[in-house]
């Protein structure tokens, strides 16, 4: 147990992760359509400020500005030749901020989906996906990331590819999926499916869980789904600050710091060990979450009714677990 995240997990009941990267960078002037990762080279001060915002709000873990740092994503900005550099820089800036924090803070090297559809449904092969994730992982490792943090994944094939890339880079990792389609990921994975998936990996993550998706309530339902299966690996909850609303030509997330504070406590009581925010979660939200986690005594495992009452209703009646969908009566098929 030599990595920083394992040490923190061993010494504490819960850890707080960070909030939104995109939301914060847009507020700093990032233009929609530009690659945030380019700022690791062009505006290092702003990236330091992003990281510091999370650390000063009490985060124990923060994610690097490298979510779109695979060749597949950087290609859209003709920066596919800069994978190693941009990931290394993103992690180096993180290392700098974490080491100056005066307490243990984990630098988590963010790795988002390639955005491509994996074989056999789409064109991206397992080997090509592993290669892209591995290239990114090496850059993050070189820059001093403590752990790789794979997030917003929807396809089990892509999750497996990221696991293999982490293994190849010799790095511990955490991996979360986004459950945004009636309680499942876009590719149909339920919370229970994910627990099974994680259990089958030969380089298992240090922690697994859910991020982003449809708001805090849905994310909590997914967390309950994970912990109902009593997984051995710690669970991560990183939910959005409510649901985006379109008001007078602008978008804002409807989750207040108070709501996110309740969410954080409910997530802990549901059994999550690492709790953070995602889109719309600002340092203000994080401060409220940290205070609530520190000052609220542990409570009983929340029920779905309680979650709906405190955080708002769910986006769908069911989350797909425990269902036995009637298979279509088929005709004969060829063997």
Partner 1 sequence: MSDEEDDEIILSELETEDLVLQMHDDLYDGLREEIEEGVNILLERGWQPYDVLTKALVAGMTIVGNDFRDGILFVPEVLLAANAMKAGMAILKPLLAETGAPRMGKMVIGTVKGDIHDIGKNLVSMMMEGAGFEVVDLGINNPVEAYIEAAAREEADIVGMSALLTTTMPYMKVVIDAMVAQGIRDDYIVLVGGAPLNEEFGRAIGADAYCRDAAVAVETAKDFIARKHNQMAAG
Report the residue number, 68 or 239, with the smaller CB distance to partner 1: 68
Q: Which of 188, 199, 299, 313: binder of partner 1 (CB under 8 A)?
A: 188
β-bridge mates for residue 216, sequence order: none
Beta carbons of 226 and 209 less than 8 angstroms apart: yes
* Per-residue contact string for residues 7-46; x = within reach of partner 1 by CB under 8 A: ---------------x---x----xxx-x-----------
State the nearest-atom distance from the C-beta of 38 to partner 1, in Å.
12
The token pair that represents 76 in the structure block: 């859209």
How many Cα atoms sit within 13 Å of 55 on the Cβ side?
24
Report phi then psi at 213, rounded to 5: 85, -135
* Per-residue contact string for residues 140-179; x = within reach of partner 1 by CB under 8 A: ---------------x------------------------
324 binds partner 1 (CB under 8 A): no
Q: Which of 279, 289, 292, 307: binder of partner 1 (CB under 8 A)?
A: 279
Q: Which of 120, 297, 298, 300: binder of partner 1 (CB under 8 A)?
A: 120
Tokens 């290392």 correspond to what residue? 95
How many Cα atoms sit within 13 Å of 178 on the Cβ side?
18
Q: Which residues are annotated as a binding site?
A: 212, 278-279
Question: Considering only residues 236-275, where is the footprint of partner 1 by CB under 8 A?
Answer: 244, 246, 249-253
321 binds partner 1 (CB under 8 A): no
Give the binding range for partner 1 (CB under 8 A) out of 226-234, 287-295, 305-313, 327-335: 327-335
State the nearest-atom distance from the C-beta of 87 to partner 1, in Å.
17
| Rounded Cα gap, residues 159 and 147, in angstroms | 16
Q: Which residues are annotated as a binding site for Zn(2+)?
A: 212, 278-279
328 binds partner 1 (CB under 8 A): yes
Name the 3-class secondary structure at 206.
coil
| Rounded Cα gap, residues 199 and 115, in angstroms | 25
Report the residue number, 35 or 55, with the smaller CB distance to partner 1: 35
| Rounded Cα gap, residues 30 and 34, in angstroms | 7
Q: Is the peptide bond before 312 cis (omega within 30 degrees of 0)?
A: no
Q: Residue 179: which of 129, 112, 232, 237 has the closest Cα?
A: 237
Report phi then psi at 139, rounded to 5: -65, -45
Give residues in contact with partner 1 (CB under 8 A): 22, 26, 31-33, 35, 68, 73, 76-77, 113, 115-117, 120-122, 155, 180-182, 184, 186-188, 244, 246, 249-253, 279, 320, 325-326, 328, 330-335
């Amino acid at each position: 147990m030599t990595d920083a995240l394992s040490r923190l997990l061993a010494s504490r009941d819960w850890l707080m992760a960070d909030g939104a990267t995109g939301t914060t960078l847009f507020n700093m002037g990032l233009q929609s359509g530009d690659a945030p990762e380019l700022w690791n080279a062009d505006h290092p001060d702003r990236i330091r400020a992003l990281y510091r915002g999370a650390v000063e709000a009490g985060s124990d873990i923060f994610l690097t500005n490298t979510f779109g740092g695979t060749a597949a994503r950087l290609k859209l900005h003709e920066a596919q030749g800069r994978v190693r550099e941009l990931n290394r820089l993103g992690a180096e800036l993180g290392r700098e901020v974490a080491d100056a924090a005066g307490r243990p803070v984990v630098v988590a090297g963010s790795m988002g989906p390639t955005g491509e559809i994996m074989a056999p449904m789409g064109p991206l092969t397992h080997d090509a996906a592993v290669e892209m994730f591995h290239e990114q992982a090496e850059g993050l490792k070189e820059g001093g990331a403590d752990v790789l943090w794979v997030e917003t994944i929807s396809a089990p094939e892509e999750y497996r590819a990221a696991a293999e890339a982490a293994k190849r880079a010799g790095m511990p990792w955490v991996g979360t999926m986004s459950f945004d389609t009636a309680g499942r990921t876009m590719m149909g994975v339920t919370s229970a499916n994910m627990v099974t998936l994680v259990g089958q990996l030969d380089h298992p993550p240090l922690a697994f869980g859910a991020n982003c998706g449809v708001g805090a309530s849905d994310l909590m339902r997914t967390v309950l789904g994970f912990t109902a299966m009593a997984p051995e690996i710690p669970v991560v909850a990183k939910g959005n600050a409510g649901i985006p609303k379109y008001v007078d030509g602008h978008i804002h997330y409807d989750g207040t710091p108070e709501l996110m504070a309740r969410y954080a406590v409910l997530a802990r009581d549901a059994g999550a060990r690492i709790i953070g925010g995602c889109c719309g979660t600002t340092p203000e939200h994080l401060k409220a979450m940290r205070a609530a986690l520190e000052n609220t005594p542990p409570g009983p495992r929340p029920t779905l009714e309680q979650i709906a009452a405190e955080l708002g209703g769910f986006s769908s009646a069911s989350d797909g677990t425990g269902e036995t969908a009637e298979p279509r009566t088929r005709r004969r098929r060829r063997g």
